[in-house]
Chain A
């Protein structure tokens, strides 16, 4: 079993839709959660990080962590074509920077 699982997609939505991207993780010791966006031919770009359960909001993006079910979500409101990219989730234990990444979900937002 992989430490972090992520549906590879692709996920295709119309512009303006609410997007939900999801990951699960296997280790209850994981306390730290990150979401990255990766455009084609670029490195991953940090979107959000948190080390608590609940929601964290930043503009159109909301990260949600449910530790009881080991479930991580990223919501994108009012999606734009510029949001088309691969989204990576990552998680790891507190107090050591060893993160496990999902394989990424490819998102396509159609104008």
Chain B
């Protein structure tokens, strides 16, 4: 079992649909993240949560809505998406935002491949 599990692996949705992506981490980490990965582009940070509180919202359109009910689970709720939102959505976790030695490395899940038609 991987440390960070994402479901579903693939999702196809129409522009009027509502769906949710789920992420669960089994590493005992306190910080969780959503990243967007598009072809030939750098990973884009979308949201950061630390101890279930949102600490970063990187100018993400409101059609993306995160939820962090506890430190092990993270959701990304999707509604009225656009075709340009098609991408790989990656969840990551880290021990803390800042550890004893400074930053904590990120551990990623395998992502949800989202296609918006």
Binding site for B on A (CB under 8 A): 2, 4, 8, 31-32, 34, 36, 41-46, 49, 51, 88, 90, 92, 94-104
Contact = CB atoms under 8 A, between A and B. Distances in A.
A97 B48 contact: yes
Nearest to A46: B105
Contacts of A90: 43, 106
Interface stretch (B62-70, B73-81, B95-103): B95-103
How many of chain B's residues touch chain A, expressed as a range? Answer: 20 to 34
B107 interface: yes
Q: Which of A51, A95, A100, A101 has the most CB of B within 10 A?
A: A101
Contact of B98 (A96, A100, A101): A96
Given A95-B98, A96-B97, A97-B97, A34 B42 contact: no
Binding site secondary structure of chain A? loop
B62 to A, nearest CB: 21
Contact of B31 (A41, A92, A97, A103): A97
A94 B105 CA distance: 12
Contact of B108 (A8, A44, A51): A44
Q: Which of B40, B42, B108 has the most CB of A within 10 A?
A: B42
A36 B43 CA distance: 12
Interface in B48-95: 48, 56, 90, 94
